[in-house]
Amino acid sequence: MTVADGTARPRNPAWDRRRTALRSFTREFWASRPGRYGLLILLAFVVLALAAPLVADRSGLDTAVARANDVPQWASPSEYPPLGTDYLRRSVWAQFVWGSRVSLFVGLAATVVTIALGSVIGVVSGFLGGRTDAVLMRFTEWFLVIPFLPLAIVLASVLGRSVWNIIFVIGVTSWPATARLVRAQVLTVKQRLFVDRARSLGASRTHIVYRHIMPNVSGLILANATLAVPISILTETTLSFLGLGDPQRPSWGKTLVEAFENGAITLRAWWYFVPAGVGILLVVLAFTLIGQTLEQIADPRLKGRR
């Protein structure tokens, strides 16, 4: 499916309108304080993740190198800047920086899978209705009742422990909720009078879906996506916590488990778990702020409400 125009219209005015729309969108987004902060926080983490090799040497994750260099265990940030070390003499800063890559990547990729599957199936099911709806919804329910953790454990053991499998597991288990939500919204939008008006004007189904249904469910899809990112990040954390994460890569989830399992709290080694925890918190917050702002802009009726 492409979001290309179903209708022919003169090229130039259309592009002009789109350019103006984009410009006013950017301006509106920046004018909103939550959106601005969310975007800045997210950008900071994206830059951090991209610049990982520059700001934190990967050798900080290597226990053999650390031992050879006489790096102390459980060193506090003052002893071993910037964030101290863990029980294996690894740099917490390096774990934090490299872990942000995995967390962001898994969060975004799993969300793309979830939202793409969920919204396509939801829109098709809700709009076409009838037999298509019945078949798709039974299919969705089948996925909905699959218990998440057993599936994740089985898939992880069958397919091996890797980032891609985690993305696959999160995607496969979380799209049904999105599909049902989108379908419900499509069902209500479909009943709105403006859809009747479009039909009176001779609109095709494609036109109605792209011009009337999609614009009115996009806010919901967007809100759902911004919720799906933090949930995916948290799910990745959970799976890592249960030892189903990728053993090759550091992630925030893995840092938290290891801190938990090795008694960081008892040892008051706050520097071990706080960065990963705050990282998760900030990324989740950033997505929520951005999502809210996007929704506010996408729905002109919410304007002026803060």
Residues forming contacts to another protein in the complex (CB under 8 A) are 7-10, 13, 192-194, 196-204, 207, 211-212, 215-216, 298-301
Q: How many residues does the chain have?
A: 306
CB of 39 to another protein, least distance (A): 23
Q: Which of 166, 283, 87 is nearest to 95 (CA)?
A: 87
**Nearest-approach distance from CB 35 to another protein, in angstroms:** 19
- Cα separation, 168 vs 228, whole angstroms: 14
- Give the gyration radius of the chain's Cα atoms: 23
Q: Using the Cα atoms of residue 66, residue 82, residue 46 and residue 232 in order, give the sign of their dihedral.
A: positive
Both tokens of 272, joined, read: 């071990």
CA distances to 21, 31, 51, 202, 211 from 6, in Å: 19, 33, 42, 13, 9
Q: Which is nearer to another protein, 7 or 73 (CB)?
A: 7
Cβ contacts of 160-169, under 8 Å, gap ≥ 24? 161/244, 161/245, 161/246, 161/247, 162/246, 163/102, 163/105, 163/106, 163/246, 163/249, 166/106, 166/110, 166/235, 166/236, 166/239, 166/244, 166/245, 166/246, 167/106, 167/109, 167/110, 167/113, 168/113, 169/239
Our CB check for another protein shows the closer of 73 and 204 to be: 204
Nearer to another protein, 215 or 243 (CB): 215
Instruction: Name the residue nearer to another protein (CB basis): 165 or 216.
Output: 216
Instruction: Report the amino acid identity of residue 155.
Output: L
116 Cβ contact partners less than 8 Å away, ≥ 6 residues apart: none
DSSP per-residue string spanning 254-298: HHHHHHHHTTTTTTT-HHHHHHHHHHHHHHHHHHHHHHHHHHHHH
Closest approach of Cβ 222 to another protein, in Å? 13
CB of 34 to another protein, least distance (A): 22
- Residue closer to another protein by CB (options 6, 34) is 6
Residue 211 Cβ vs another protein, minimum distance, rounded to whole Å: 8
CB of 295 to another protein, least distance (A): 12
CB 194 within 8 A of CB 212: yes
Report the DSSP beta bridge partners of residue 167.
none
Whole-number minimum distance, CB 177 to another protein, in Å?
A: 25
Nearer to another protein, 147 or 300 (CB): 300
| Minimum CB distance to another protein smaller for 64 or for 201 | 201
Q: How far is the CB of 22 from another protein (least distance, A)?
A: 15
For another protein, which is the closer residue by CB, 42 or 221?
221
